[in-house]
């Protein structure tokens, strides 16, 4: 599927660091593959993409992204099939979302050829870093940040686009205890909640830490007006199974339009499982639990994949959900998604981009 019209100058590492990696014991986000892609925006155009050894870079202390947070990112994953080919999962959707985030953050549109061909060439070079191990993947982090050396507040006139990658295992090591957030807000209508903007994550750390101090792994955000409706959870979109139907908040300007979210809902529809994308009231979840109808709850995200939720805290009470092993809907979808990503099942929606 490759379209090689852009040849990116490449400087290879003299010696790979891959021997530092224990493929049977991969921690999330700690060891980085040998190379990275870099392209700069200046004089009104994206230019000079190049691949170089992964490593530190030098920046002015006045680099504007460091002060005002004009920075966006994506997360995507590559897998290996049984023949050792590299399969990227839905990279064009990440590309589109990067530019949607960029538009909201006044970052100039990145051309598709720099993103896609940069990725292809980077992944061919770092192919050995894509784990063949079940449950593992190469996590790929494309990002753009403002690089003007200027501390006035205005959109930067220069930017840097970069991509690096790291082999990863599970993001969350265990089923999650989450708490519904009654006070703090991740995002409000008219804000930048739908953008994958760095500041959205930075601003979420404090409320998340407060919940973590109370013994919960993550929180579930609620709407900014009334704290009445569920939005998303930590680094994930969130879904519930009530009465054998998947119920999930509809994406909006306050919720990130997750690519794993979309994939899970599509697989559910393909399997004939009813899906409801709509406003989900906190009270509905509490009532469903009381009535014994809240069968499953889980988060969806690139890093998290499908992360099971064991307990939901709300208003002083812990709602314990049915055992993970019996969750036929989310476990079935997770297994199917995994088979598609690793080339073990047909790909009816053309999600796989083979390198």
Q: Helix 259-270 crosses helix 91-104 at what angle (to 10 degrees)?
A: 130
Terminal Cα distance for the chain, rounded: 7
- Measured CA to CA, the distance from residue 26 to residue 43 in angstroms comes to 41
Q: Which residue of 87, 110, 238, 303 would you call a contact of ligand COI, by CB under 6 A?
A: 303
Among 235, 254, 308, 342, binds ligand COI (CB under 6 A): 235
For ligand COI, the closer of residues 31 and 273 by Cβ is 31
| Residue number with the smallest Cβ distance to ligand COI | 75
Pick the binder of ligand COI from 117, 233, 302, 308 (CB under 6 A). 302
Among 69, 75, 131, 193, binds ligand COI (CB under 6 A): 75
H helices within 40-128, ranges in order?
64-68, 91-104, 112-125
CB-CB contact of 221 with 231 (8 Å): yes
Q: CA-to-CA distance for 160 and 74, rounded, in angstroms?
A: 14
CB of 259 to ligand COI, least distance (A): 9
Touching ligand COI, residues 191-210 (CB under 6 A): 201
**Is residue 301 close enough to count as binding ligand COI by CB under 6 A?**
yes
72 touches 105 (CB < 8 A): yes
Per CB under 6 A, the segment of 148-156, 207-215, 275-283, 299-307 that binds ligand COI is: 299-307
3-class DSSP state for residue 177?
Answer: strand
Count of residues in contact with ligand COI, rule CB under 6 A: 7
Residue with the two structure tokens 């019209």: 5
Give the interface segment with ligand COI, choosing from 2-10, 102-110, 297-305, 328-336 (CB under 6 A). Answer: 297-305
Q: Which stretch binds ligand COI (CB under 6 A): 120-128, 216-224, 239-247, 298-306?
A: 298-306
In the DSSP assignment, the letter for residue 65 is H
- Min separation Cβ 204 and ligand COI, Å: 10
Closest CA to 289 of 250, 246, 252, 241: 241
Cα 71 from Cα 309, distance rounded (Å)? 30
Choose the binding region for ligand COI from 108-116, 185-193, 296-304, 330-338 (rule: CB under 6 A). Answer: 296-304
Site residues (CB under 6 A) for ligand COI?
Answer: 75, 201, 235, 301-304
């Amino acid at each position: 599927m490759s379209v090689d019209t852009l040849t990116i100058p490449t400087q290879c590492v003299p010696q790979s660091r891959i021997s530092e990696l224990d493929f049977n014991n991969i921690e999330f986000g700690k060891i980085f593959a040998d190379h990275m892609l870099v392209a700069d925006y200046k004089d009104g155009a994206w230019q000079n993409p190049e691949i170089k050894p992964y490593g530190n870079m030098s920046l002015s202390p006045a680099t504007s992204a460091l002060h005002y947070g004009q920075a966006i990112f994506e997360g995507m994953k590559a897998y290996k099939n049984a023949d050792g080919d590299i399969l990227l999962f839905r990279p064009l959707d990440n590309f589109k979302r990067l530019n949607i985030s960029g538009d909201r953050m006044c970052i100039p549109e990145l051309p598709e050829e720099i993103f896609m061909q940069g990725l292809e060439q980077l992944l061919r070079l770092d192919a050995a870093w894509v784990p063949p191990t079940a449950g593992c993947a190469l996590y790929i982090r494309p990002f753009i940040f403002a690089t003007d050396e200027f501390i006035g507040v205005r959109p930067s006139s220069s930017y840097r686009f970069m991509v690096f990658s790291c082999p990863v295992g599970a993001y969350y090591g265990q089923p999650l205890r989450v708490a519904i957030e009654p006070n703090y807000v991740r995002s409000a209508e008219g804000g930048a909640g739908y953008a994958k903007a760095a500041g959205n994550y930075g601003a979420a750390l404090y409320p998340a830490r407060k919940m973590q101090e109370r013994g919960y792994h993550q929180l579930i955000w609620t709407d900014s007006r009334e704290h009445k409706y569920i939005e998303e959870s930590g680094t994930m979109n969130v879904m519930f199974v009530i009465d054998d139907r998947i119920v999930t908040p509809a994406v909006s300007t306050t919720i990130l339009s997750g690519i794993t979210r979309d994939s899970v809902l599509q697989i559910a529809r393909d399997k004939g499982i009813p899906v409801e994308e709509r406003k989900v009231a906190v009270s509905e979840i509490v009532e469903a639990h009381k009535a014994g109808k809240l069968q499953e709850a889980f988060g969806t995200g690139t890093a998290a994949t499908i992360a099971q939720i064991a307990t939901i805290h709300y208003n002083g009470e812990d709602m314990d959900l049915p055992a993970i092993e019996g969750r036929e809907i989310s476990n079935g979808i997770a297994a199917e998604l995994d088979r598609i990503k690793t080339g073990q099942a047909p790909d009816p929606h053309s999600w796989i981009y083979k390198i």
